[in-house]
């Protein structure tokens, strides 16, 4: 099982780099949708025997991360004129390199944390930290409101990977609560993105500079 | 009892969404406020009501925060009726519904004894307050809401990762992984140290963002500046207290795990940094609502500092949660009135508030004196008690810095507040329609009287409650 799991996680890490290296907003959203869909399947390959709780998280997680949230974001993108992240804070290639460095750092850092026997072969911890860091890179270096939301989603995906270590510890209710919060959060954010777009005729967050000292 | 307190406000929120009249709808707020306060007082008086389910237990810390939230909402709910009558041009359906749902979710935070559930509730407070900040639908309020949502969500996401790390620390002991407070406290001494340290840093940053500790406070001046006064009061007294409760839980776990020294270093650093940053931005601040936001950053710093000092300052710190919450109510609500009367929140246009609005102007000045720790108001007692604690613990440098920063804040805040209240108001400001009314004045008077009461004489039940909470926090049942 660990082989299959690690293969999936390597694909997730490659999707991180892909999200960092593409400028079309719609491609970034699709990349993250693919990543989310892939991650929601992790509980199925994680354990030899499938628990009911794990199986029950798969369906809503797949629907939300893979279909509904990306769908809402593509919908929000429809009315927007600018379809590309034109001038990120740092260029696309440097940010891919930064992402790769973050992955290396995550591998080294994860080595410092003691794991229990059952998890020692899996790449879950480094993959989780690398994905969280990728989310941060997207949040900090991109200026379009929707790309920043994508960054937040990638960050959440990283946390979701870590959650796989704790399927038993996190009861179903809490898991559902987390997903619900994520969903409502993105929903509210999409409304605000729309409002930014209407009020400023752009969704460039660099226009949001009237509030300062 | 937990279910009543959580679901009553949420039901009322649903009901308010169904009422078509913009004028009648706000009256559901005081109904909810009175009912919730009554439920709170009954629960506080009868210990057998404090366990509702395995994860819903009201411990002394939860009781204290619940009392602050419920009292503050009680006063704010009457004020909100007056405020919304002055703002009849804006539909208030979403506003009323979100404000009541907000109360329900904050109650859930105080009852939750499962760290995952508590996280869900605190993230919930971010989501229901976003529409409240966006109430005015201006470009400036969009900007504030966007920053609030993004910074808040990222912060709270880190807190989730920290919560997971904590669960893994318990899994690593070889026992069943758990996130219930009782379960973790039981195994605390055996928790894996590297995971616990990493978890504490993430949780401090995450919940610290919600509290508004520097340097994660960047959303606070924008959100508090643009939100209506009543929302500012609930954010500064309610959300921050709830986030502080989350921090208290983690603090308790680390104490029992024997990591007190590690935790206290970080808390002292964050506390002093927040106070220093806040005092820098308060000096010369022209916008009096942003000034209040920095004051909130400062007081979150004081809470973190008090927690970092440890046992001798804990009584003062917990008392400060109460006094800060109530005083922030006085300040934000009176600042909201002044803002309404002048149509501006810059000291370039706003002066002479004492003559233009004798009641609100006076209360704003009283609030300023109280929050900066002048006797005979409540915050004086709590701040003095924290200072005493610092000296008792032998932390003379910390105590000295604390005093110095309080002085800087007093001077900086005083300059702005005196500009607002003194002088003669301009002709334009005298001709705006807003006048102090019973509904927008009396709740502030009530809050100010409570602040004064705590300063003169702390009621015995409150002392007993805080003593219980301190014992609970130190790990003694």
Residue by residue, DSSP assigns A187-199 as HHHHHHHHHHHHH
Distance, CA of B219 to CA of B221 (rounded, Å): 6
Cβ–Cβ gap B143/A152 under 8 Å: no
- Decide if A145 touches B, using CB distance below 8 A: yes
pLDDT of A99: 93
- Which residues of A fall within a CB distance of 8 Å from B144? 211
Cβ–Cβ gap A168/B116 under 8 Å: no
Per-residue pLDDT of chain B (477 residues; tens, 9 = 90+): 889 999 999 999 999 999 988 889 999 999 999 999 999 999 999 888 888 888 899 999 999 999 999 999 999 999 999 999 988 888 999 999 999 999 999 999 999 999 988 999 999 999 899 999 999 888 888 889 988 988 998 999 999 999 989 988 888 877 777 888 888 888 888 888 889 999 999 999 999 999 999 899 999 999 999 999 999 999 999 999 999 999 999 999 999 998 889 999 999 999 999 999 999 999 888 999 999 999 999 999 999 999 999 889 999 999 999 999 999 999 999 999 999 999 888 988 999 889 899 999 999 999 999 999 998 899 999 999 999 999 999 999 999 999 999 999 999 999 999 999 998 888 888 888 888 899 999 999 999 999 999 999 999 999 999 999 999 998 754
Closest residue by Cα to residue B259 from B156, B166, B395: B166
Calculate the CA dihedral of residues B175, B180, B181, B183 and round it to 10 degrees.
-30
Residue A107's Cβ-count burial label (10 Å; 0-12, 13-18, 19+) is: middle
The SS3 assignment for B72 reads: helix
Closest residue by Cα to residue A21 from A75, A95, A77: A95
Distance, CA of A180 to CA of A172 (rounded, Å): 12
Across the A:B interface, residue pairs with CB atoms under 8 Å apart total 121
Cβ–Cβ gap B116/A171 under 8 Å: yes
What would the two tokens of residue A33 be?
């949708």
Instruction: Please say whether the dihedral angle defined by the alpha carbons of residues B470, B123, B22 and B233, taken in this order, is positive or negative.
Output: positive
Report, in angstroms and rounded to the nearest whole number, the Rg of chain B calculated over CA atoms.
Answer: 21
pLDDT of B475: 74
What would the two tokens of residue B392 be?
């008792």
What mean pLDDT value characterizes chain A?
83
The partner residue sitting opposite B142, judged by closest CB among A171, A184, A195, is A195
What would the two tokens of residue A11 be?
């694909």
Residue reference for tokens 């750092």:
A105
What would the two tokens of residue B337 be?
């009135």
- Decide if B172 touches A, using CB distance below 8 A: yes
Q: Work out the angle at residue B244's Cα, subtended by the Cα atoms of residues B240 and B245, and round it to the nearest 5 degrees.
A: 120
Distance, CA of B142 to CA of B149 (rounded, Å): 10
Other beta carbons less than 10 A from residue B312's beta carbon: 18
Distance, CA of A136 to CA of A120 (rounded, Å): 26
Q: What is the mean pLDDT of each run of 10 residues along chain A (213 residues)?
A: 86 94 89 92 76 77 87 80 70 90 92 78 89 92 84 90 78 71 76 75 75 74
Q: Which residues contact B280 (CB under 8 A, 6 or more apart)?
A: none
User: Which of 68-97 (B) contact A at CB < 8 A?
Assistant: none
DSSP letter at A65 equals: I
Distance, CA of B240 to CA of B325 (rounded, Å): 9
Q: How close does chain A come to B449, measured CA to CA in Å?
A: 34
Cβ–Cβ gap B160/A159 under 8 Å: yes
Closest residue by Cα to residue A156 from B165, B116, B149, B154: B154
Distance, CA of B337 to CA of B7 (rounded, Å): 31
- Are B437 and B336 a contacting pair, CB within 8 Å? no
- Which residues of B fall within a CB distance of 8 Å from A213? 221, 281
Report, in angstroms and rounded to the nearest whole number, the Rg of chain A calculated over CA atoms.
Answer: 18
Cβ–Cβ gap A178/B198 under 8 Å: no
What would the two tokens of residue B464 be?
């007993």
Distance, CA of B171 to CA of B131 (rounded, Å): 39
- Which residues of B fall within a CB distance of 8 Å from A144? none
- Are A172 and A53 a contacting pair, CB within 8 Å? yes
- Decide if A90 touches B, using CB distance below 8 A: no
Percent of chain A with pLDDT over 70: 89
What mean pLDDT value characterizes chain B?
92
- Which residues of A fall within a CB distance of 8 Å from B194? 112-114
Q: How far apart are the first and last CA of chain B?
A: 22
- Which residues of A fall within a CB distance of 8 Å from B164? 159, 162-163, 165-166, 170
Percent of chain B with pLDDT over 90: 71
Residue reference for tokens 């006094």:
B323
Distance, CA of B279 to CA of B407 (rounded, Å): 9
Cβ–Cβ gap A112/B117 under 8 Å: no
- Decide if A177 touches B, using CB distance below 8 A: yes
Residue reference for tokens 């995450």:
B206
Closest residue by Cα to residue A184 from A195, A192, A172: A192
Best mutation target, B56, B101, B137, B161, to test chain A (most A CBs within 10 A): B161
Cβ–Cβ gap A185/B177 under 8 Å: no
Q: How close does chain B come to A4, measured CA to CA in Å?
A: 23
Distance, CA of B167 to CA of A150 (rounded, Å): 27
- Are B177 and B171 a contacting pair, CB within 8 Å? yes
Measured between CA atoms, the residue of chain A closest to residue B122 is A181
Q: Please write the tens of the pLDDT for every residue from B118-141.
A: 999 999 999 899 999 999 888 888
Residue reference for tokens 């804006």:
B90
User: Which of 92-131 (B) contact A at CB < 8 A?
Assistant: 114, 116-117, 119-120, 123-124, 126-127, 130-131
pLDDT of B476: 59
The partner residue sitting opposite A155, judged by closest CB among B146, B157, B177, is B157
């Amino acid at each position: 099982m660990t082989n299959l799991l690690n293969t999936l996680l390597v694909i997730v890490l490659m999707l991180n780099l892909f999200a960092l290296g593409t400028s079309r907003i719609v491609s970034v959203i699709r990349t993250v949708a693919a990543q989310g869909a892939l991650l929601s399947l992790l509980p199925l390959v994680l354990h030899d025997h499938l628990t009911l709780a794990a199986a029950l998280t798969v369906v809503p997680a797949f629907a939300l991360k893979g279909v509904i949230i990306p769908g809402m974001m593509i919908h929000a993108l429809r009315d927007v004129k600018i379809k590309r992240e034109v001038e990120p804070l740092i260029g696309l290639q440097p940010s891919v390199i930064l992402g790769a460095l973050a992955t290396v750092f995550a591998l080294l850092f994860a080595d410092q944390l003691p794991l229990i026997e059952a998890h020692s072969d899996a790449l879950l911890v480094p993959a989780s930290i690398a994905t969280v860091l990728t989310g941060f890179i997207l949040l900090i270096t991109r200026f379009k409101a929707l790309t920043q939301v994508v960054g937040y989603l990638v960050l959440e995906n990283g946390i979701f990977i870590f959650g796989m270590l704790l399927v038993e510890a996190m009861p179903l209710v809490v898991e559902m609560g987390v997903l619900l919060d994520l969903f409502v959060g993105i929903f509210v954010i999409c409304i605000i993105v729309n409002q930014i777009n209407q009020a400023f005729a752009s969704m460039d967050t660099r226009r949001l500079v009237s509030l300062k000292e | 009892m937990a279910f009543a307190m959580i679901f009553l406000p949420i039901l009322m929120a649903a009901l308010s969404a169904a009422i078509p009249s913009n004028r009648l709808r706000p009256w559901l707020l005081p109904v909810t406020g009175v009912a919730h306060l009554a439920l709170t007082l009954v629960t506080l008086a009868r210990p057998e009501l404090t366990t509702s389910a395995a994860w819903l237990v009201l411990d002394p810390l939860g009781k204290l925060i619940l009392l602050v939230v419920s009292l503050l909402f009680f006063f704010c709910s009457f004020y909100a009726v007056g405020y919304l009558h002055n703002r009849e041009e804006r539909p208030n359906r979403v506003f009323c519904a979100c404000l009541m749902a907000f109360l329900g979710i904050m109650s859930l935070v105080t009852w939750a004894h499962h760290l995952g559930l508590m996280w869900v509730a605190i993230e919930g407070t971010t989501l229901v307050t976003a529409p409240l900040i966006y109430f005015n639908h201006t470009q400036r309020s969009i900007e504030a809401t966007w920053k609030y949502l993004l910074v808040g969500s990222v912060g709270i996401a880190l807190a989730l990762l920290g919560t997971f790390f904590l669960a893994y620390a318990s899994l690593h002991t070889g026992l069943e992984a758990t996130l219930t407070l009782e379960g973790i406290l039981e195994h605390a001494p055996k928790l894996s140290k590297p995971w616990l340290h990493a978890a504490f840093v993430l949780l401090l940053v995450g919940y610290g963002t919600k509290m508004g500790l520097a340097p994660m406070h960047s959303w606070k001046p924008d959100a508090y500046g643009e939100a209506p006064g009543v929302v500012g009061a609930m954010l500064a007294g309610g959300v921050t207290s709830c986030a502080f409760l989350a921090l208290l839980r983690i603090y308790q776990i680390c104490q029992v795990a024997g990591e007190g020294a590690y935790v206290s270093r970080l808390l002292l650093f964050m506390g002093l940094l927040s106070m220093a940053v806040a005092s820098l931005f308060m000096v010369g601040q022209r916008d009096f609502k942003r000034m209040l936001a920095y004051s909130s950053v400062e007081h979150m710093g004081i809470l973190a500092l008090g927690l970092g000092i440890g046992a001798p300052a804990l009584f003062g710190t917990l008392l400060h949660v109460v006094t800060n919450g109530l005083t922030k109510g006085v300040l934000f609500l009176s600042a909201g009135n002044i803002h309404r009367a002048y149509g501006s929140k810059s000291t370039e246009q706003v002066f002479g508030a004492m003559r233009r609005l004798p009641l609100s102007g006076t209360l704003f000045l009283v609030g300023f004196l109280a929050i900066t720790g002048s006797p005979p108001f409540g915050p004086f007692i709590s701040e003095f008690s924290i200072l005493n604690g610092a000296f008792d613990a032998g932390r003379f440098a910390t105590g000295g810095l604390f005093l110095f920063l309080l002085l800087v804040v007093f001077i900086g805040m005083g300059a702005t507040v005196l500009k607002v209240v003194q002088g003669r108001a301009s002709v334009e400001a005298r001709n705006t329609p807003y006048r102090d009314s019973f509904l927008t004045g009396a709740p502030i008077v009530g809050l100010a009287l409570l602040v004064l009461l705590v300063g003169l004489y702390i009621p015995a039940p409150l002392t007993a409650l805080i003593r219980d909470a301190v014992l609970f926090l130190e790990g003694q049942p």
